[in-house]
């Protein structure tokens, strides 16, 4: 089941309203609020007999005889995204591994509290020596031992995998297509209760070269590149966007993969600092746009959602939608992209006394 984390910048304010104002047989008295007007759920020192002093619910009768809407603050939780990092461990990274380890150490602890973080290193079987025909498959294996399924608070586990890599043993190919298959199985298929949005971050320093049986003698074959493009395209169709980071690699195929994955163009990094910048930029771009209220609302027509004071309308392309549970709000279009610009924002949700329209 998806875990969730509170979003500190989100303010949820809910105003309850209704037309059943109560009579002498109700818990809400019809003679006013007793000796305290708006000081909490209990309106005074009387009983429930309808004498004006008894405890009241969210809907009561105001001093002027009209309906009373009591404003109550509510908590909410942002649904953190599922993020799987696919980390190239091929032999071409010998001499570059420590900067990669340093970069991941720097960002993992922060990421792991903001997203469900997972890891697929590839390949995960290392051999010293030449790559001969009998050992090709081993140089392209992805075992289960270092694969981490996405979950909250796994930064230490991810860093431990990076720390454990022995650089001298990084003798292997680049099975990017197989890594995508393994990562796919970590996040798909989606279940009806899976609210987290999945993303992949592919960090690689070269082209794939592990489709030997399909094209013997061509380790960097166009076929291998096309296989990766096809997989990323299929993943995007299943709701999984793929970000691509080229580490000391800026081949045009990276932009092709990024476009296929719905993320426009690849990031480039030549050192640990640039890799950290790239990963942090990606993290901003996948900030959650799904929020769960701590209680369901009765009718979304009465719900007002504001971002930085600006009303976003229910059902609008740049507004918001709500799930069948009536407690999960998804910001759409520019409402979502605003939250992903890297700045601090306030989201306010109120359930009001009349249907909400443009301000």
Q: Which of 29-38, 98-107, 161-170 has the highest mean pLDDT?
A: 98-107
Q: Which of 14-28, 54-68, 176-190 has the highest mean pLDDT?
A: 176-190
Long-range contacts of 123-129 (CB under 8 A, 24+ apart): 123/89, 123/90, 123/172, 123/173, 123/174, 123/175, 123/210, 124/89, 125/172, 126/89, 126/166, 126/169, 126/170, 126/171, 126/172, 127/169, 127/171, 127/172, 128/168, 128/169, 128/171, 129/171
The CATH H-level (homologous superfamily) assignment of domain 80-285 is von Willebrand factor, type A domain (3.40.50.410)
Q: b/e for 175-199, b at 16 or more Cβ within 10 A?
A: bbbbbbebbbebbeeeeeebbbbbb
pLDDT tens, residue by residue, 53-76: 333 234 444 444 555 665 555 556
Closest CA to 118 of 201, 236, 214: 201
Residue intervals of the chain classified under CATH 3.40.50.410 are 80-285
pLDDT score of 170: 65
| Average per-residue pLDDT for the chain | 76
Q: What is the value of pTM for the model shown?
A: 0.72
pLDDT score of 17: 37
pLDDT tens, residue by residue, 221-279: 788 899 999 999 999 999 999 999 999 998 789 999 999 999 999 999 999 999 999 99
The conformation of residue 319, written as its DSSP 8-state character, comes to: S
pLDDT score of 51: 38
pLDDT score of 198: 96
Mean pLDDT of 87-94: 87
Confidence bin at 188 (pLDDT 50/70/90)? very high
């Amino acid at each position: 089941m998806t875990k969730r984390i509170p979003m500190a910048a989100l303010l949820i304010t809910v105003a309850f309203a209704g037309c059943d104002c109560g009579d002498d047989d109700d818990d809400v008295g019809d003679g006013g609020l007793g000796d305290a007007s708006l000081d909490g759920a209990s309106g005074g020192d009387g009983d429930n007999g309808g004498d004006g002093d008894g405890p009241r619910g969210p809907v009561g009768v105001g001093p002027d005889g009209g309906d009373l809407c009591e404003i109550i603050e509510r908590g909410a939780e942002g649904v953190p995204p599922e993020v799987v990092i696919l980390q190239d461990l091929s032999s071409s990274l010998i001499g570059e591994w420590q900067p990669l380890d340093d970069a991941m150490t720097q960002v993992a602890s922060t990421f792991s509290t903001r997203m469900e973080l997972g890891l697929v290193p590839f390949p995960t079987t290392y051999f010293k020596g030449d790559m001969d025909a009998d050992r090709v498959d081993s140089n392209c294996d992805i075992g289960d031992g270092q694969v981490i399924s996405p979950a909250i608070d796994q930064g230490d586990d991810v860093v431990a995998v990076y720390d454990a890599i022995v650089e001298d043993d990084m003798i292997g190919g680049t099975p990017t297509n197989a890594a995508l298959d393994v990562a796919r199985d970590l996040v798909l298929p989606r279940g009806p209760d899976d609210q987290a949005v999945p993303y992949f971050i592919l960090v690689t320093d070269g082209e794939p070269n592990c489709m030997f049986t399909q094209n013997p003698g061509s380790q960097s074959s166009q076929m291998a590149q096309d296989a990766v493009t096809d997989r990323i395209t299929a993943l995007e169709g299943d709701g999984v966007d793929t970000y691509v980071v080229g580490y000391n690699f800026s081949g045009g195929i990276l932009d092709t993969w990024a476009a296929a994955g719905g993320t426009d163009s690849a990031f480039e990094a030549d050192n640990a600092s640039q890799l950290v910048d790239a990963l942090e930029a990606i993290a901003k771009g996948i900030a959650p746009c799904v929020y769960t209220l701590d209680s369901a609302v009765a009718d979304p027509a009465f719900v007002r959602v504001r971002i930085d004071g600006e009303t976003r309308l229910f059902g609008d392309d740049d507004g918001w939608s709500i799930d069948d549970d009536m407690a999960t709000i998804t910001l759409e279009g520019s409402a979502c992209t605003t939250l992903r610009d890297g700045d601090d924002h306030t989201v306010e949700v109120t359930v009001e006394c009349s249907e909400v329209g443009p301000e």
